């Protein structure tokens, strides 16, 4: 699969794909006889993993560490599992924080007219 097709499939830029390869987030992408990157199923699966993890807030350095551990082999299984478990705990906290923010925003919108009216009345009283 060509870079442009992969970029479109995952809604990322070609520059991001190149950066991820250079940074060690995904395997080195093989090139065809003309020197163009030709993504195989292996790289596509890693890109799918990276885009999912990035959208959940996991940092690039964490993903690089994970990929390096993966390349090191089966003996790193426990380290990789611990890394992912730690990320899951952090993600759960982010979800909790987002749910709290969502509830507050929803409450504010439910009573928005009252809130706005109260603020303007208070400002008028202070004049």
Can you give the pLDDT at residue 121? 66
What is the pTM for the complete model shown?
A: 0.79
pLDDT band at 123; cut points 50, 70, 90: low
pLDDT in the model for residue 125: 64
Domain 1-72: which topology?
Answer: Multidrug-efflux Transporter Regulator; Chain: A; Domain 2 (1.10.1660)
Mean pLDDT in the chain?
A: 92
Per-residue pLDDT at 78 exceeds 70: yes
pLDDT of residue 15: 97
What percent of the chain is modeled with pLDDT above 90? 83
Q: What is the 3-state secondary structure (H, E, C) of the chain?
A: CCHHHHHHHHCCCHHHHHHHHHHCCCCCCCECCCCCECCCHHHHHHHHHHHHHHHCCCCHHHHHHHHHHHHHCHHHHHHHHHHHHHHHHHHHHHHHHHHHHHHHHHHHHHCHHHHHHHHHHHHHHHC
């Amino acid at each position: 699969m060509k870079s442009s097709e992969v970029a479109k499939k995952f809604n990322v830029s070609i520059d991001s794909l190149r950066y991820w390869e250079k940074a060690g987030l995904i395997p080195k992408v093989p090139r065809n006889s003309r020197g163009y990157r030709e993504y195989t199923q292996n790289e596509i699966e890693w890109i799918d993993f990276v885009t999912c993890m990035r959208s959940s807030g996991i940092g690039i350095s964490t993903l690089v560490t994970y990929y390096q551990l993966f390349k090191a082999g089966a003996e790193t299984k426990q380290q990789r599992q611990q890394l992912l478990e730690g990320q899951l705990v952090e993600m759960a906290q982010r979800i909790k924080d987002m749910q709290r923010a969502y509830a507050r925003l929803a409450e504010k919108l439910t009573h928005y007219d009252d809130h706005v009216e109260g603020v303007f009345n208070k400002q008028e009283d202070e004049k």
